[in-house]
Structure 1
Amino acid sequence: MLMAADILLYKADLVPVGKDQKQHIEIARDIAGRFNRTFKKNIFKLPEPYIPEEVAVILGTDGKRKMSKTLGNIISIFEPEEIIQKQVNGTFTDPTRKHATDPGHVEGNMVFTYLDFFGEKAKVTQLKEIYTKGQISDIEVKKYLYESLMKTFKKARERYADLIAHPEKVKKILEEGAAKARMVSTATMGEVREAIGLVNQYSFD
């Protein structure tokens, strides 16, 4: 209910969620539709879930379960470089491959799964080809994944470091965001009170 309230109060059209949270959007839609029909006013929008198919389900570094900090199968892009390197090095590859000269499998290999998102397409295609021929080691492939992650998230990491060093910037952003949200929520609640017959927030006449 609280999630539905957060969604409906701000009249969201699309809500980014994972597949495992889609039911929350369906509940919000049911509540919105029921309210609109009951009071014969289209106050609440019927939100749609936004689930990009290419990133809807990404397994963690263990290759078994979805990424979870609790499970310890994540790559923490804002952590120090040595921690990211350690997490990349621990990423699941091909358990049947004993030597770098053994032909490897890219299907189910989490390093290549991540490279499909963060690596350069031509380079990744080349790596897949030579990996399946046993012409490159897991260490070398993981090195490229690490480099790709650092390149992809370079600006985000710099921004994160700046905000950590200047908490007053974070406070200002939060205050400005809260002010904008308050304007929308106040207007929505005004419509709700009018629809259900409340003269103002203190009156039940």
Structure 2
Amino acid sequence: MKRIFSGVQPSGDLHLGNYLGAIRRFVDLQADNDCIYCVVDLHAITVWQDPAELRQRTREVTAGYLAAGIDPKKSIIFNQSQVAAHAELAWVFNCVTRLGWLNRMTQFKDKAGKNREKASSGLYVYPNLMAADILVYKGTHVPVGEDQKQHLELTRDIAQKFNNDFGVEYFPIVEPLIQGAAPRVMSLRDGTKKMSSSDPSDAARINMTDDADAVAKKVRRATSDAELLPDPSVIGPDGQFTAEFRQSRPEAANLLTIFAALSGQTLADTVGAFEGKGFADFKKEMTDVAVAALGPMGAEMKRMVEDPSHVDSVLRDGAERARALADPILAEVYDIVGFLRP
């Protein structure tokens, strides 16, 4: 059985892109795998967080996991800071990882931007903590998106170097878990930009906490274009929209992608069903599909966030189960490294 680790940062409001790109995949994976799902609050503080908001968003991400269908009896759900082994193994990996490897990490360059000298050292060594997150459980597989592939490659390098340095075959060489292309969910106001919690317009995204009325209103007001919906010639041989169609009609591509993902259809089936129709007819059906899929989830999330006792109990139980797995592995690592312990 595969041991899968993945996590979501509590650094912004969860939205439709988070759900379709990651959380829904987590739900599917738990049926046949040993799954560990983390709220990575240690990663979140690589940039400054308001403490009260961090606690609230940690609960929101956990509520999102639960409302989406992750079963805390099948999977382990916890927040990272409750399991000290993550930070402790990350220090060992800080001493294994070479500076040249970290200098090649493009995400640090993207996030630090022009203020690189003012960025936290935590942001720089972030990939080492990510490696520790996975390997402290001897995770074998990680579902990854395009923006995390480089970090997973570094995790593999760290595991191999640790094994080579100490003459052991201890850490597994983690494999990426590819489940087909995750939907590219773009802003509802501008189809050329990714849906983001940092967008100043709340109308640009569907939040996972939105109720049915909010979901319906945002779908109806989503930016479209004046043309009729396309025929299947805009679908490439990989089953995805062609780059030409995405560039020429980004809003149409985005709304059709969201409809297909929420309805469980292929893009080809969705395009075929609406070929030659106008957006008015399409949006009526999309509203029904979005409300049916997202409305109950938003209501359940809101209920759990307003009364967080259940969420907190899930995190406590998950952290206890996670520590039971991680602590013996960390102890073996300390023995391999040569630390003298009682």
Match of 1:100 in 2: none
Does the residue aligned with 2:287 lie in a helix, a strand or coil? Answer: helix
- Aligned-pair distance for 1:96? 4.2
2:260 to 99, 113, 116: 116
Match of 1:167 in 2: 308
- Alpha-carbon distance in structure 1 between the residues aligned to 2:183 and 2:305: 30
Q: Is the 8 A contact 1:19 1:51 kept in 2?
A: no
- Alpha-carbon distance in structure 1 between the residues aligned to 2:276 and 2:183: 31
- Aligned-pair distance for 1:20? 1.1
Q: Is the 8 A contact 2:140 2:175 kept in 1?
A: yes
2:160 to 18, 33, 43: 33
Q: Does 1:20 align with 2:110?
A: no
- Alpha-carbon distance in structure 1 between the residues aligned to 2:257 and 2:219: 12
Matches within 5 A, 1:123-142: 125=269, 128-129=271-272, 131-134=274-277, 137-142=278-283
Structure with higher Rg: it is 1
Q: Does 1:6 align with 2:147?
A: no
Deviations 1:155-178 (A, max 9, x none): 533532442243111110010111
Show structure 1 runs of 5+ residues with no match: 98-102
- Alpha-carbon distance in structure 1 between the residues aligned to 2:186 and 2:179: 15
Show structure 2 runs of 5+ residues with no match: 1-127, 235-245, 247-251
Change (3 A) 1:121 1:184: closer
Match of 1:91 in 2: 222
Does the residue aligned with 1:54 lie in a helix, a strand or coil? Answer: coil
Letter in 2 for 1:132: E
- Alpha-carbon distance in structure 2 between the residues aligned to 1:27 and 1:142: 43
Q: Is the 8 A contact 2:262 2:293 kept in 1?
A: yes
Matches within 5 A, 1:69-84: 69-71=197-199, 72=201, 73-84=204-215
- Aligned-pair distance for 1:55? 0.9
Deviations 1:134-155 (A, max 9, x none): 4xx4133122212212222355
Match of 1:194 in 2: 335
The sequence identity of aligned pairs, in percent, is 27
Question: What TM-score does the superposition give when structure 2 sets the normalisation length?
Answer: 0.50
Does the residue aligned with 1:15 lie in a helix, a strand or coil? Answer: strand
Deviations 1:31-71 (A, max 9, x none): 11100111122222222222432316433333212221113
Q: Is the 8 A contact 1:19 1:57 kept in 2?
A: no
Letter in 1 for 2:289: S
- Aligned-pair distance for 1:129? 4.7
- Alpha-carbon distance in structure 2 between the residues aligned to 1:197 and 1:190: 11
Does the residue aligned with 2:181 lie in a helix, a strand or coil? Answer: helix
RMSD of the TM alignment (CA)? 2.6
**How many residues are aligned here?**
191
Does the residue aligned with 1:144 lie in a helix, a strand or coil? Answer: helix
Q: Which protein, 1 or 2, shows the higher relative CO under an 8 Å CA cutoff with sep ≥ 6?
A: 2
Does the residue aligned with 2:213 lie in a helix, a strand or coil? Answer: helix
- Alpha-carbon distance in structure 1 between the residues aligned to 2:171 and 2:284: 49
- Alpha-carbon distance in structure 2 between the residues aligned to 1:81 and 1:31: 46
Q: Is the 8 A contact 2:137 2:326 kept in 1?
A: yes
- Alpha-carbon distance in structure 2 between the residues aligned to 1:151 and 1:14: 32
- Alpha-carbon distance in structure 2 between the residues aligned to 1:96 and 1:21: 37
